[in-house]
Amino acid sequence: MSSEDLPTLTHGQGSRVHGTDGREWIDLVTGYGAVFLGHSHPQVTQALQWQAGRLIACGRYPTARFDAVEALLATVLPAGLRLGGFASSGMEAAEFAMRVAATHTGRSEFAGFGRSMHGKSAMTASLCWANAPVKPAGLHTLPFVDAQEEPAILEALERLLRARPIAALFIEPVQGTNGAHRASPAFYAEAIRLCHAHASLCVMDEILTGLYRTGPAFTSSTLAVSPDMLLFAKNMGNGFPVSAMALAPHVQVAAQALPGSTFAGNPLALTAVEATLTAMASLRMGALVQELERVARDQLGRLQERGIQLRGQGALWCLELDQRIDLPRALAGIRDAGILVTCNAHTLRLLPAATLDPAEWADACNRIADACLAARVLKA
């Protein structure tokens, strides 16, 4: 959807958002995946209103909110990982991870996989994106599974780890901004093992996937080897800007890593996290997401082999349209069907809230499929 076509929004409730023109939309953008329990969630809204009347920002002074959130996170983090600190955006957490890895290893070079998303700061954008505007030295981009086979990528990783003083390898387990490409669990486990064999750290960026987006609380908890650092953000605050880092026992945050920033861990952000995690604990998150996955496969599977590739997992789905589909026409059809989606190059991304009613999700998937098929370019 080009910016000219974007509706101006006024408010949202659950998975529906409303425009100034009175139109209602099914929201499959959900604030780029941040609003995982739906807009204006009553528990989160009420908690934020209460906290906003008491204390919003207080620098590094501790508050009761911090202890509550730390205790809640301890129940969902992968075994052995502990909370390492808060930030306000995904990029800020990724930058923080770079500083921690650099001080821990005494090295200052980093590796990542092509077209993974870790943020838009000069360092995080340059790690994986060829078109980043700034090119800091010491960043190495390896091919990912959309470009090469797993064994060849692992060989390239090992060569790099031997040749360069890599402080950390960054992994985005499902490339949410690049067509939902993902490698096998064995690949990730081997990549982490290689890092450890070469005294490098592995940072798992679950800023999008963390807290049930793909089904399990974290992809990292399903792997045979644990990463050294885990980043998570979007699902944690149900739309409120907040991010966090978890650390393995052997990784410490040294003062030289410059932890904290003006808004990091502010009581309002932590209130959003506490309310969101409490609400999640009362829901069967895994089951909700599994049902969304079943519906997506049922309703969108029919598009495969018809000019459209379906990739994804849980509540993260991408449709890659080839030249047989007229993209502007498909987008117009989806918009006319009252559905908001994001589109990056030729890929549509669907990020439903976990709380979206499965029947409404099925209906939205069906309408999207119909709009794509109606936009097929027929050969003369």
- Here the tokens at position 63 are 């508050």
Q: Which stretch binds ligand PLP (CB under 6 A): 85-93, 107-115, 184-192, 219-227?
A: 85-93
CB of 345 to ligand PLP, least distance (A): 16
- Here the tokens at position 320 are 């890659």
Whole-number Å distance between alpha carbons of 259 and 238 = 24
How many CB atoms are located within 10 Å of the residue 377 CB?
11
Q: Which stretch binds ligand PLP (CB under 6 A): 71-79, 83-91, 191-199, 279-287?
A: 83-91
| List 38, 84, 114, 176, residue binding ligand PLP (CB under 6 A) | 176
CB 113 within 8 A of CB 142: yes
- Here the tokens at position 366 are 């069906």
Whole-number Å distance between alpha carbons of 52 and 351 = 29
Please identify, using beta-carbon distances, which residue of 3 and 323 lies nearer to ligand PLP.
Answer: 3
Any residues with CB less than 8 A from the CB of 264 and at least 6 apart, and which? 85, 86, 87, 88, 92
Please identify, using beta-carbon distances, which residue of 233 and 275 lies nearer to ligand PLP.
Answer: 233
CB-nearest residue to ligand PLP: 90
Please identify, using beta-carbon distances, which residue of 179 and 333 lies nearer to ligand PLP.
Answer: 179
CB of 65 to ligand PLP, least distance (A): 21
* DSSP bridge partners of 343: 348
Any residues with CB less than 8 A from the CB of 87 and at least 6 apart, and which? 93, 96, 242, 243, 244, 245, 261, 264
Please identify, using beta-carbon distances, which residue of 117 and 371 lies nearer to ligand PLP.
Answer: 117
Residue 95 lies near ligand PLP (rule: CB under 6 A): no
CB 310 within 8 A of CB 300: yes
Residue identified by tokens 């987008």 is 331
Residue 119 lies near ligand PLP (rule: CB under 6 A): yes
Please identify, using beta-carbon distances, which residue of 174 and 325 lies nearer to ligand PLP.
Answer: 174
Q: Which stretch binds ligand PLP (CB under 6 A): 16-24, 53-61, 205-213, 357-365?
A: 205-213
Whole-number Å distance between alpha carbons of 356 and 257 = 40
Residue 35 lies near ligand PLP (rule: CB under 6 A): no
Residue 207 lies near ligand PLP (rule: CB under 6 A): yes
Question: Which residues inside 228-287 make contact with ligand PLP, applying CB under 6 A?
Answer: 233
* DSSP bridge partners of 9: 19
Q: Which stretch binds ligand PLP (CB under 6 A): 113-121, 125-133, 260-268, 309-317?
A: 113-121
- Give the footprint of ligand PLP on this chain (CB under 6 A): 32, 89-91, 94, 117-119, 172, 176-177, 205, 207-208, 233
